[in-house]
Amino acid sequence: MNNECHQEKNYDPREVIREAYSEIANQGNCCCGSSCCGNSSAELIASNLGYNQEDLNHLPQGANMGLSCGNPVAIASLQPGEVVLDLGAGGGFDAFISARKVGPTGRVIGVDMTPDMVHKARNNVQSFRESSSLNNVEFRLGEIEHLPVENESIDVVISNCVINLSPDKSQVWSEIARVLKPGGRVSVSDMAILKPLPDAVLESVQALVGCIAGAVLIDETKKMALSAGLVNVVLEINSDYIDQMSTWSDPLYQEISKHLPPGSKISDYVTSLVITARKP
């Protein structure tokens, strides 16, 4: 992506992100959380986040692009027969893993706003069916602020490093509450900030696409979930993941570090966040 095209203050964040993730879909590069990954493979990133090697081995080719900053599937403790919604499904990484866990009586819907990502995920459905004998996953084009999903139709909402990219996070949480069945639950991995970022980082298009410039304070995230009507909202920080970025020669880490005060590091400002909640 040509960042020079987006230096104006009035650029549309959705279009910047859609363009960037279209490029990622077509090239297979990783970006969010691990930003373009540096020397680290997508599989290594997933392993570091606790993904089971057997689950990774059964993924369709290209589904794992290293876009994770957590492991929402593990946190969700999915059960056979459940209906799962994956926000910002990308190439289908978490969706395909979830589909095996909910089994033939369950169902997984992946939603993504980037046509190239949806196309990539849909292309993988056939190979998933052949390897798993399951026909329980689909991918829909749509924005997570306006989910193409019926009211009270979902048992579990998962998302991996995506909500921070939204310019209207309150609306996303309202949509999550709308689509969940009563008693349904949320399992989200996301980026959050511990204290305000320097202006130079906030103005960086690379930081926006890399999920950092769009992140909000932890307390704000909790308030939005509660305001949407969710209960039992629990947030757990994991700054260790951010520190790992420095060992990957990560381009995003290197770029942002240039704009931080001397002696500080990204994990002083940014954390990976686990969010769980329920609908009453």
Most confident of the following: 23-27, 169-173, 240-244 = 169-173
Tokens representing 149?
């999903």
**How many other CB atoms are there within 10 angstroms of residue 18's CB atom?**
19
**pLDDT-based confidence at residue 248 (cuts at 50, 70, 90):** low
What distance in Å separates the CA atoms of residue 83 and residue 150, rounded to the nearest whole number? 12
Torsional sign, CA 57, 29, 218, 89: negative
Torsional sign, CA 176, 178, 183, 184: negative
Please state the CATH superfamily assignment of the domain spanning residues 3-278 in this structure: Vaccinia Virus protein VP39 (3.40.50.150)
**pLDDT-based confidence at residue 66 (cuts at 50, 70, 90):** confident
Beta bridge partners of 154: 180
More confident residue, 190 or 5: 190
Query: What proportion of the chain, given as a percentage, has pLDDT over 90?
Result: 52
